[in-house]
Amino acid sequence: MGACMSSSNEEADQKKKSQAIDKILEEDSKRLRKECKILLLGSGESGKSTIVKQMKIIHLKGYSEDELFNYRPTVFKNLVECAKAVIMAMQQFDIEPQNEENKAHAEFLLEYQAESGPQAQIDPKVGAAVQALWNDPAKDLLMEHQTEFYLMDSAEYFFQEAMRIVSSDYLPNEMDVLRARTKTTGIYETRFQMGQLSIHRSRWSNYFPDYSGGNDVNKAAKYLLWRFNQVNRAHLNLYPHLTQATDTSNIRLVFAAVKETILNNALKDSGIL
């Protein structure tokens, strides 16, 4: 009798464990079906990391103060490297600064090495030297050769913000992070959840005066299908947008298109389309 009860208890425990495992597997399966994986591939400075940064800012509540602080060394390095690129390009095309003081600034910047590590600091002289050199009239002569040498696309931004960047209490903002460039190799994964689509009850009849089906679901479905075909007569999912890597509106347009696709698929699954 005792052996039978013990066996029954073990079977009950095993059944509970099995059901719990099945439930976890089912939940994982549902979650995976809802996940969309996006693989970003591209050449250097094509905007891959910038798009991921925008995703984080829009959908993951942005960057914490600690995360922003950790971008200081990257911004410092970008500022110094951009300045050196300008100076070396001037030397390449035999362009001398027209202000004599800027020759000393150029020598100082060429010898300066940006610090690395989370506690990195930058010499305030860097900011003054960068701005003075960038405001030198010789810059206009250099820009006549802008297609003949490499300069980071964020260079002018960092030059204009140089004095803020070299301040003792400098903390990068989100635009600094978007503009910052660092070499990335390998695979980086960022997870985020897009906002849930919600429909609020209101007097829809005011917006669709040509609908006369009342609360009939079938009539409403047919009307929505007709309206959709009227608006999207070409039946083409085209989302043209001229952009650049630091265009903050780019990612919003991308996700507007994604949301439209999700809604379209949901309407198909429900039988409306």
Q: In 3D, which of 255, 225, 224, 223 has the Cα closest to residue 239?
A: 255
178 is in an annotated binding site: yes
Distance CA 155, CA 43 (A): 19
Here the tokens at position 209 are: 């005066």
Distance CA 134, CA 128 (A): 10
191 is in an annotated binding site: no
227 is in an annotated binding site: no
168 is in an annotated binding site: no
Amino acid at 268: K
190 is in an annotated binding site: no
Element housing 149 (H / E): none
CA–CA distance from 239 to each of 49, 61, 78, 261 (Å)?
A: 21, 26, 33, 11
Hey, how many other C-beta atoms are within 10 angstroms of the C-beta on 12?
Answer: 10
142 is in an annotated binding site: no
45 is in an annotated binding site: yes
Answer yes or no: are the C-beta atoms of 58 and 252 closer than 8 Å.
yes
154 is in an annotated binding site: yes
185 is in an annotated binding site: no
153 is in an annotated binding site: yes
46 is in an annotated binding site: yes
Annotated binding site for Mg(2+): 49, 184
Annotated binding site for GTP: 45-50, 153-154, 178-184
Q: Could you list the residues known to form a binding site, using ranges.
A: 45-50, 153-154, 178-184
